[in-house]
Amino acid sequence: MTTQQLVERVDQLIQMGNDVWSTRRSSEYSRDYVDSGLMKGFRSVSLSFIQQVYGDKHPHFAEFAADTEYCYTDDIERGLGILKAIRSEIEGGWLFTVKGLITAEVFADFIEMAEHLLESGYKDPAAVMAGSVLEEHLRQLCNKNGIAVTRTKNEKDVPLKADMLNSELAKADVYTKLDQKQVTAWLGLRNKAAHGEYDEYNEDQVRNMISGVVEFMARVAV
């Protein structure tokens, strides 16, 4: 889902919250309240959205769950405030920035493992691991730029191959044609390693591949 689609969905939820707010009623015995059925529906779909985007461990999820537990007007006000903050984060690009940082940390661990394998004399698994990190980075770039990573075949979503992702990213000017050619070469080396064509490349080529992938990922970041 692209940034624009996420923003549009938050706008829908905010409008839903405003509709709940419009049902507010005064009570002489307690705080003002809103329609309980509409409030529960608003709370349910909003929590579902927040969980899908941020996960259920994120403060936004915990705060929204706690602050919208009842059907008082201040509950709907707090819920709307959280959704507006989320909208601001997404529109400002902070969501993808945070996800990119987490992804970078995970990728760094795998790259370190690939370097360790290479230095230990295992060039083939090192090439496969570096290539796998590169492929996942391409998928993350596609997600960031609204490029499909699957194709429907026989009513099922089938993941696109790395070469196709590479082509689509270059076509969308996410990176240059020169980058595309280099990525194609790295993917080719990874495929040779994965298919047992071990004599088709050497340790130096794998070492250059790993350093090149690291530089590429830093320059064309998620």
> What tens digit of pLDDT does each residue of 153-202 get?
877 888 899 999 999 999 999 999 999 999 999 999 999 999 999 999 99
State the Cα–Cα distance between residues 140 and 137, nearest whole angstrom. 5
> What tens digit of pLDDT does each residue of 72-90 get?
999 999 999 999 998 988 8
State the Cα–Cα distance between residues 132 and 190, nearest whole angstrom. 8
The 3-class SS string of 59-99 reads HHHHHHHHHCCCCEHHHHHHHHHHHHHHHHHHHCCHHHHHH
Residue 10 pLDDT: 94
Q: Which domains are assigned to the chain? A: 3-91 (no CATH), 94-219 (1.20.120.330)
Arithmetic mean of pLDDT over the chain: 88
> What tens digit of pLDDT does each residue of 12-40 get?
999 999 999 999 998 777 789 999 999 99
State the Cα–Cα distance between residues 93 and 74, nearest whole angstrom. 29
When pLDDT is cut at 50, 70 and 90, the band that residue 102 belongs to is very low
